[in-house]
Amino acid sequence: MILVAVATPAIAQTEPTELINRQHCMFCHTVDAPFLAPSFHQIAERYRKEPHAADVLARKLRLGGRAHWGDTPMPPPSERGGPLSARDAHTLVDWVLSQ
């Protein structure tokens, strides 16, 4: 029997690979080298000390938003592979911020 922990703790450090693939995050991002988008290290560095960063970023992942790193905004979920639940957005953001 395989037991899987379903309840995600507030800090999800394990890579949510399936979500990342489904949303094509690595099409534009890498963990440590800026590519078409800032690297996840850069993003974590920038937001680590901001108290509401996780909420703001999770919202942005779901709804999209204006660009403020460069000129290219990140596309909304509909253009990335499908709808993203609030919970999944938080899982992704927690992982990004732990990089």
CA nearest neighbour of 64 among 21, 4, 27, 23: 23
Annotated binding-site residue? 52: no
Retrieve residue 83's tokens.
């709808």
Rule CB under 6 A: which of 25-44 touch ligand HEC?
A: 25, 27-29, 36-38, 43
Query: Which of 2/51 has CB closer to ligand HEC?
Result: 51
Which one among 69, 78, 86, 87 touches ligand HEC, defined by CB under 6 A? 69
DSSP codes of every residue in 20-63: HHHTTHHHH--SSS-SSS--HHHHHHHHTT-TTHHHHHHHHHHH
> Which is nearest to 43 in space by CA: 80, 69, 66?
69
- Closest CB to ligand HEC among residues 6, 34: 34
- List binding-site positions for heme c: 25, 29, 74
What does the binding site for ligand HEC look like in residue numbers (CB under 6 A)?
23-25, 27-29, 36-38, 43, 57, 60-61, 67-70, 72-75, 80, 92-93, 96
